[in-house]
């Protein structure tokens, strides 16, 4: 018999890729997307799922007990993939409140509903940022038992959510599995994030803003590899397990920018060093041995191949990101988007 999976935050970047992946890789599964459609959620990201009889979209807020209750009253889920979150570090520095509400309260509300419903597996999407930053010059790395030392409001709320999930494992023996992936990139990534910002700026003839020196290191993981890891965790992991997910492709931001410039046939005059992000984490270096040994996961798309794919995608999908960058897609709010589940927020 087919399973039913819930993907929260499924109208965002990784969530929409995950939904396409699940519908393709598990042809007997039904998939429900539950998303509030914040500025980062976009129904256009779900065009591969649209019209598929195994796909259902429900608009709702994970932090609203009323919305989440209505969702679980309507559907019975085998798997929950919890990706809904406020995700942009710079925004969390401007205003932490929505991060606290969605990332902390939302995770608490969803955990409680999933526990009451007795779901078989709850996969929680955490992040490498929960470990905090490795300073320049250190070759330290984080494994799953490293302490959580988040340093910005976004990662602090993600660490809180991660700990809440762990508390449900110990207190209620709930079958939660936690993923801590590095920086993802791929199709449908909102162009406020570094990689799509660089690509789309260059297409528009605008420069690339480099925060500070550009020496900060990030590890770039292709989004389909993350989706494969999440599915493995849902189907194969021990309940309560935590997995780092890494690409082992750490490079300085300035070097990534140079690679993008070269791929797009442009020169260093397009680089602009700008004011640094306050408290900018220098590096997250993960030891991902556990997921390799226990689940057999290794990333399949290297950075060179992934960058070529992603540059091609943004070139071929100009209308998608141009609508976002001009604010045009906001015109759909309240009109074409479906109603919130279970009434008002």
Does 210 engage in binding with ligand DAU (CB under 6 A)?
A: yes
Minimum distance from residue 160 beta carbon to ligand NAD (Å): 12
Does 209 engage in binding with ligand DAU (CB under 6 A)?
A: yes
Known catalytic residue at 154: yes
Known catalytic residue at 128: yes
Q: Of these, 59, 121, 193, 228, which contacts ligand DAU (CB under 6 A)?
A: 193
Is the CB of 187 or the CB of 253 nearer to ligand DAU? 253
Pattern 76-95, ligand DAU, x by CB under 6 A: -----------xxx------
Is the CB of 137 or the CB of 334 nearer to ligand NAD? 334
The answer to whether the beta carbons of residues 246 and 145 sit under 8 Å apart is no
Is the CB of 200 or the CB of 216 nearer to ligand DAU? 216
Pattern 286-325, ligand DAU, x by CB under 6 A: ----------------------------------------
107 binds, among ligand NAD, ligand DAU, none (CB under 5 to 8 A by kind): none
Does 199 engage in binding with ligand DAU (CB under 6 A)?
A: no
102 binds, among ligand NAD, ligand DAU, none (CB under 5 to 8 A by kind): ligand NAD
- 138 in helix, strand or coil? coil
Q: Restricting to residues 127-186, which ones interact with ligand DAU according to CB under 6 A?
A: 127-129, 182-183
State CA 242 to chain mean position distance.
Answer: 16
Known catalytic residue at 276: no
Minimum distance from residue 146 beta carbon to ligand DAU (Å): 15
What is the distance between the terminal CA atoms of the chain, rounded to a whole angstrom?
34
Burial of residue 240, with CB atoms counted within 10 A of its CB: 0-12 exposed, 13-18 middle, 19 or more buried? middle
Lookup: tokens for 149: 């030392």
Minimum distance from residue 161 beta carbon to ligand NAD (Å): 8
For tokens 């320049």, the residue is: 136
For tokens 């494994």, the residue is: 143
Catalytic residue among 21, 35, 131, 154: 154
State CA 89 to chain mean position distance.
Answer: 13
- Measured CA to CA, the distance from residue 282 to residue 129 in angstroms comes to 11
The answer to whether the beta carbons of residues 55 and 33 sit under 8 Å apart is yes
- Measured CA to CA, the distance from residue 191 to residue 322 in angstroms comes to 9
DSSP 121: E
- 126 in helix, strand or coil? coil
Is the CB of 150 or the CB of 214 nearer to ligand NAD? 150
Q: What are phi and psi of 209, to 5 degrees?
A: -80, 125
Is the CB of 54 or the CB of 151 nearer to ligand DAU? 151
Catalytic residue among 35, 61, 86, 128: 128
122 binds, among ligand NAD, ligand DAU, none (CB under 5 to 8 A by kind): none
Is the CB of 83 or the CB of 340 nearer to ligand DAU? 83
- What DSSP string describes 56-113? EEEE--TT-HHHHHHHHHH---SEEEE------HHHHHH--HHHIIIIIIHHHHHHHH
Q: Footprint of ligand NAD on this chain (CB under 6 A)?
A: 8-9, 11-15, 35-38, 40-41, 61-63, 83-87, 102, 106, 125, 127, 158, 181, 183-184, 190
Residues near 295 by Cβ (< 8 Å), separated by ≥ 6? Answer: 229, 232, 233, 236, 237, 243
- What DSSP string describes 173-208? ---EEEEEE-EEE-TT--TTSHHHHHHHHHHTT-PE
**324 beta partners:** none
Catalytic residue annotation: 128-129, 154
Binding residues for ligand DAU (CB under 6 A): 87-89, 127-129, 182-183, 193-194, 197, 209-211, 216, 218, 253, 277, 284
């Amino acid at each position: 018999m087919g399973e039913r999976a819930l993907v929260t935050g499924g109208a965002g970047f990784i969530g929409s890729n995950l939904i396409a992946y699940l519908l393709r890789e598990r042809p007997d599964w039904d998939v429900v997307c539950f998303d509030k459609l914040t500025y980062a959620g976009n129904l256009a990201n779900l065009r591969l799922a649209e019209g598929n009889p195994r796909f259902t979209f429900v608009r709702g807020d994970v932090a609203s007990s009323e919305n989440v209750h209505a969702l679980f009253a309507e559907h019975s889920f085998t798997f929950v993939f919890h990706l809904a979150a406020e995700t942009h570090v710079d925004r969390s520095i401007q205003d932490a409140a929505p991060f606290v509400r969605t990332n902390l309260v939302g995770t608490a509300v969803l955990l409680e509903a999933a526990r009451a419903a007795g779901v078989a597996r709850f996969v929680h999407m955490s992040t490498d940022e929960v470990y905090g930053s490795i300073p320049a010059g250190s070759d330290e790395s984080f494994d799953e038992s490293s302490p959580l030392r988040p340093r910005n409001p976004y990662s602090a709320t993600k660490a809180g959510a991660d700990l809440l999930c762990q508390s449900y494992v110990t207190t209620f023996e709930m079958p939660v599995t936690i993923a801590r992936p590095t920086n993802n990139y791929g199709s449908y990534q909102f162009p406020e994030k570094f990689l799509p910002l660089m690509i789309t700026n260059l297409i528009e003839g605008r420069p690339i803003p480099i925060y500070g020196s550009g020496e900060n290191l990030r590890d770039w993981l292709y989004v389909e590899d993350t989706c494969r890891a999440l599915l493995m965790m849902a189907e194969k992991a021990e309940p309560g397990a935590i997995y780092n997910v890494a690409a082992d492709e750490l490079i300085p931001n300035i070097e990534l920018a140079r690679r993008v410039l070269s791929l797009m046939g442009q020169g260093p005059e397009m680089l602009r060093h700008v004011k640094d992000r306050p408290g900018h984490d220098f590096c997250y270096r993960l030891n991902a041995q556990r997921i390799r040994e226990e689940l057999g996961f290794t990333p399949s798309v290297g950075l060179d191949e992934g960058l070529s794919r992603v540059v091609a995608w943004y070139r071929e999908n100009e209308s998608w990101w141009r609508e976002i960058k001009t604010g045009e897609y906001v015109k759909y709010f309240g009109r074409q988007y479906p109603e919130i589940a279970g009434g008002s927020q």
